[in-house]
Amino acid sequence: MEILVCVKRVPDTAENEIEVNKDGTGIETDDLVYSVNEWDNYAVEEAIQIRDKVGGSVTIVSVGDEESEEVVRREMAMGADNGLLLTDDAFEGSDGKGTATLLKAVVEKGNYDLILTGAQADDGAGQVGGMLATMLDMPYASLVNAIEMLDDKKLKIGREIEGGNQEMSEIELPCVLSIQTGINEPRYVGIRGIRKVASIEIPVYGAGDLGLSADAIGAAGAGVKRLDYFVPELGEGAEMLEGSTEEIVEKLIELLKAKGGIK
Amino acid sequence: MAKIFTYITFKNGVPDDSALELVNAAKQIAPDASPTAVVVGSGIDALCKEVAASYAEVWKVDNEAFAYPNAEVIRNVLSSILPQECILLVPHDTFGMDLSPGLSIKMDTVFMPDTVGFGGLEGSMLKCIRQEYGGAVSTHVSCDITKGAILNIRPGAFQPDESKAAAGQVVDKSAEAGDLSTKRVYLETVAAEVGDVDITKEDVLVSIGRGIEDEDNIEIAEDLAKAMGAVVSCSRPIVDAKWLEKSRQVGTSGQTVKPKVYLACGISGSFQHLGGLKGNPFVVAINKNPKAPIFQVADVGIEADILDFLPELTEAIENL
Ligand SMILES: Cc1cc2nc3c(=O)[nH]c(=O)nc-3n(C[C@H](O)[C@H](O)[C@H](O)COP(=O)(O)OP(=O)(O)OC[C@H]3O[C@@H](n4cnc5c(N)ncnc54)[C@H](O)[C@@H]3O)c2cc1C
Ligand SMILES: Nc1ncnc2c1ncn2[C@@H]1O[C@H](COP(=O)(O)O)[C@@H](O)[C@H]1O
C-alpha cells in the first residue's frame, strides 16, 4: 500500500494566544509557536499503522514556506518513509482549491493507493481533501474515525457523524480520506527520533517541477480571498470577576448558589 | 443575480433546523432573494410539503437509492439538476463537510466553508464572514460568484425564518437525477456508546478542556464536582486522549446537554463544543487566556489557571 499524507504547518493554538495584528491584515506572528496541524498527526499515525500491517510506504507532503520542512521532518520521525516539500513564491495566497491543485500534481507524479488528509486545519475549512478527491476522480470520505482493510481493492471505514454516531461504509481504492482526531493515539516523537531523520534529504518542488501554470495557483488563481482580520463580537461578553482569588471565589459561590449550581 | 438554492438535510422525515436558517442566510446575501429548496431522499412527499411552507419552490429528487444520503451520489444529482451559475447554500454539518468541497470542483465554482455571516454583495464580489483558529479571530473573505458558488453555512449562525408563509410548490426533478453509481457504499450506522453517567440529564456540569493539561489533574475537577453535587463533562481533546469516556463529551459530535449551570474550565469555546450546549444555561468560564472566545458567550468569566483556581473553589465550597 502506497500512502500519501498531506500535512500543514500551523500556529499551535494550545501554545499561543492568537491575536489580530495592528492593521488587521493577519494575526500577530511575533513569538508564534508552530506545529503540525493536530488532525494531520492522526492521519500520519494511521498511515504508519496501515503500512506496518500490510507493507508499502508512507510519504509526507506539505505545501508551505521553507519552514514547513520542519513539520515534514517531524512526521518522518514518527516513522514515515519519504517526505516532500512544495514551496515557491508563486504558491502564496493559494485558496483551498489552489492547495488541492498543487497536491493533485504531486499525486500524479506517484502511484498512491490511499491519500490521507486531516479533517480540517487552522482556518477551520475542511476543504482540501474533498476537492483533491474530486479533482483526481477518486471516492472520498470525510471525518473518518476507523479504517479496516477488506482486501487490496476495498476498505471498510467509519465516519463520525452527529452525536458521536458512526456511519460505516465500504470504499474502493484508490481513495482520499480525511481523518478525524481520536481515530488512534499518535505516537510521541522525541528529540532522538528527530535526530535520526535529520540528515535525510527532503526533495523540494516548485511550480516548474509540478508543471503548473501560474494562473491556477497562488493569489492569481484564488476565487476566495481574505480581506481582513478582526475580533469577533458575539453577544455582550462575560462579566469578568475581578479581585483577589479569595474575593473571586466568594463572588462566584454567591452566583452559583443563586443559579442552583451548588446543591 | 444568480439564483439561490438551499440544500435541505433531515432525519426521520423531519427537516433539520438549518432548513429555516438558510432562508434567512439567503436574504442576507440579497434581501429580495426567494431561494429554492432542494430535497433529495426516498419517500419524501410529506417532507417536501412541510419545506414548501417556508420556500416558494421546492425541488424534490426522490429515489430509493437516496434512502441514506451518500455524498458521492448526491454530488452527481446536484451537478445534474442545478443550473451552472447558481449559489447553493449547504449546512456546514458532517454531511455538508462531506458533500460540498468536491461539489465545488465538480461544478467549477468557488467554495466558502463554514460561513457565519455576510457583509454585502458588490458586483460579483460577495463578502463573507468566517472564523479561524477555533473562533479566536474572524475574517472577512471575498468570494467571486461570477461562476456561482457553494456556500457552507454554520448551523445556528442565522436566525430561522419561522414565518411559514410561503405556501410554495413542489417540483419533481427525480427524472433528472443522473448517475447513481458509487464507489462508496453505505453499510450501517453504529450508535454512540452509552456511558456510566448520562450528562444530558444533569443540572450542573463541571466541564474540562485541554486546559486541564494532564490526566492526573482530572481529579481536581472531580473533587469540585463532588463538592458542588455536579458531574464532570468535557471537550473533545479529553476524549481523544482517552482520559474520559466519549459519553462525557459535550458538542456536535458528542452529547447535547441542557444544564442550568455550566462551568467551562480550560475550554476555548469552539463552535463544535458550544453546539452541544442548549437551553441557555448560566455559563461560567475559567480560562487563563483573557482573549479566549469562550468569554464572548459566557455569563461570568474568570481569568485564572484552573489548576490553582479549581482547588481553591472546591475548598471554599466544602467549608460552606
Ligand atoms: C467535525 C468536528 C466535530 C467536533 N466535535 C466536537 C465536539 O463535539 N466537542 C468538542 O468539544 N469539540 C469538538 N470538535 C473539536 C473542536 O473544533 C475543538 O478543537 C475543541 O473543542 C477544542 O477543545 P478545548 O477547548 O478543550 O481545547 P483548546 O481549543 O486547545 O482550548 C484550551 C483552552 O484552555 C486554556 N488553558 C490552557 N491551560 C489552562 C490552564 N492551566 N488554566 C486555564 N485555562 C487554560 C487555553 O487558554 C485555551 O483557551 C470537533 C471538531 C470537528 C472538526
Ligand atoms: N498547505 C498544505 N499542505 C499540505 N496539506 C494541506 C495544506 N493545507 C491543507 N492541507 C490538508 O488538508 C487538510 C484540511 O485542511 P483545510 O481544508 O485547509 O481545512 C489538512 O488537515 C491537511 O491534511
- Taking only the tens place, the pLDDT of each residue in B62-118 is 999 999 999 999 999 999 999 989 999 999 999 999 999 999 999 999 999 999 999
pLDDT higher than 70, residue A35:
yes
B299 touches chain A (CB under 8 A): yes
Inter-chain residue contact A127 with B113, CB threshold 8 Å: yes
User: Which H helix or E strand runs over A118?
Assistant: strand A114-118
Summarised one tens digit per residue, pLDDT across range A157-201 is: 999 999 999 999 999 999 999 999 999 999 999 889 999 999 999
| Residues 235-254, chain B, touching A (beta carbon < 8 A) | 236-237, 239-242, 246-247, 249, 252-254
Q: From the CA of B167, how many Å to the nearest CA of chain A?
A: 31
Residue ranges of E strands in chain B = 4-7, 10-11, 14-15, 36-41, 57-62, 87-91, 110-115, 117-122, 125-132, 137-144, 149-153, 169-172, 184-190, 204-208, 231-234, 261-265, 282-287, 300-303
Residue A126 to chain B, least CA–CA distance (Å): 7
- Report chain A residues whose CB lies below 8 A from the CB of B302: 240-241, 248, 252
Closest CA to A147 of A40, A43, A76, A7: A43
B204–A260: do the CB atoms touch at under 8 Å? yes
Q: Check: CATH 3.30.479.10 for A2-221?
A: no
Neighbour count for residue A76 (Cβ, 10 Å) = 24
- pLDDT value at position A59? 98
- Which atom of ligand 2 is found nearest the CA of A61? 4
Q: Residue A236 above 80 pLDDT?
A: no
**What whole-number distance in Å separates Cα of residue B199 and Cα of residue A141?**
30
Give the mean model confidence (pLDDT) for residues B27-54. Answer: 97
Q: Which three cell numbers stand for residue A7?
A: 500535512
Average pLDDT in the A81-94 region?
Answer: 96
Residue A234: predicted pLDDT: 64
Does residue B2 contact residue B71 with C-beta atoms inside 8 Å?
A: no
The answer for B 8-47 residues in CB contact with A (under 8 A) is: none
Q: How many CB atoms are located within 10 Å of the residue B83 CB?
A: 10
Nearest-CB residue to A227 (from B136, B140, B313): B140
**pLDDT top residue among A214 and B317:** B317
Q: Mind listing the pLDDT tens digit for each residue in B195-220?
A: 889 999 999 999 999 999 999 999 99
B139 touches B130 (CB < 8 A): yes
CA separation for the pair A194, A174 (Å, rounded): 31
Q: Which domains, from first to last, does chain B contain? A: 4-176 (3.40.50.620), 199-319 (3.40.50.1220)
Mutate to test the pocket of ligand 2, among A7, A39, A117 (most ligand atoms within 8 A of CB): A117
Q: Is A245 left (phi over 0), alpha (psi -120 to 50) or beta?
A: alpha
For the sheet with A175-179, list strands across it: A204-205, A82-86, A57-63, A2-6, A114-118, A175-179, A140-151, A154-160, A166-172, B184-190
Distance CA A157, CA A177 (A): 9
What local confidence, expressed as pLDDT, does residue B224 receive?
98
Q: Please choose, from the candidates B18, B240, B205, B201, the residue with its C-alpha nearest in 3D space to the C-alpha of residue A180.
A: B240
Asked whether the beta carbons of residue B186 and residue A161 sit closer than 8 angstroms, the reply is: no
From the CB of A42, is ligand 2 less than 6 Å away?
Answer: no
pTM here?
0.97
Q: What was the pLDDT predicted at B114?
A: 98
- Residue A33 · residue A50 · CB < 8 Å: no
State ipTM: 0.96
The secondary structure of residue A78, as a DSSP letter, is T
> Amino acid identity of A254?
E
CA dist A232 and B275 (Å) reads: 17
